[in-house]
Amino acid sequence: MKKLFVMLLAVMMTVACALGALADVTLEEAKQIALDHAGVAAEDAIFTKAHHDHDDGRVVADIEFYAGDTEYEFDVDITTGEITEFETEKHGLIASDGSITLDDAKQIALARVGMKEEDVRFKKAHADQENGRNVYEIEFVVNGMEYEFDIDAASGTILDFDADIDD
């Protein structure tokens, strides 16, 4: 019985040490990384999720919050603090009182991530209709990241935004 207890204690200590070694970035730090990336002040955010998860063989902090009419979702690698995935989504109706071109939509998407057209490879850029609304679907790859946008064709508002590591 004593041997079993000692072995169990050794296993528990090993697991605790391993988890401690992985937890370089705390959940609170991951939340702040996400807020900084989104440009949202902590007092303006309502967090709906903050926990550890596994994604593509690594441990990440899965962070979700709302600010205004936008939902934000982030995966933050807890060993490096790197954002490995993020997505935003607008909620609610948007007034439509103008019209933009496909080139305008591309520029809006590029500006959102601070890129220039010559720096990216477009995978998709076309008009579509979603939920009775005319949108532009824009998708491009740059520096190992894939970005996807749905942009309101009337107002130029980014309705949906997603970024993942390009596979």
- pLDDT tens-place string over residues 71-111: 889 999 999 999 999 998 775 444 444 578 888 899 999 98
Give the CATH number of the domain where residue 15 resides: 3.10.450.40
Q: Does 124 score more than 60 pLDDT? A: yes
Task: Say what the pLDDT of residue 66 is.
Answer: 77
**Residue where a domain stops, chosen among 66, 90, 114:** 90
Q: What is the mean pLDDT of residues 28-55?
A: 90
- Does 95 map to a domain? no
Q: Is 11 contained in some domain?
A: yes
Which amino acid is residue 132, in one-letter code? G
What confidence tier does 18 reach under pLDDT thresholds 50, 70, 90? low
Number of domains in the chain: 2
- pLDDT at residue 12 tops 90: no
55 and 113 assigned to the same domain: no
The parent domain of residue 120 ranges over 102-165
Instruction: Count Cβ neighbours within 10 Å for each residue of 105-142 and write b for 16 or more, e otherwise.
Output: bbbbbbebbebeeeebeeeebeeeeeeebebbbbbbee
**For residue 22, what pLDDT band results from cuts at 50, 70 and 90?**
very low
24 & 84 share domain = yes
57 shares its domain with 26: yes
In the predicted model, is pLDDT for residue 150 greater than 80? yes
Residue 28 lies inside a defined structural domain of this protein: yes
In a domain, 96, yes or no: no
Q: Given pLDDT bands bounded at 50, 70 and 90, which one contains residue 44?
A: confident
Identify the residue with better confidence: 167 or 108. Answer: 108
Question: In this structure, are 26 and 84 located in the same domain?
Answer: yes
Nearest to 147 by CA among 166, 119, 128, 167: 166
pLDDT at 4 over 80: no
Note whether 70 and 136 are same-domain residues. Answer: no
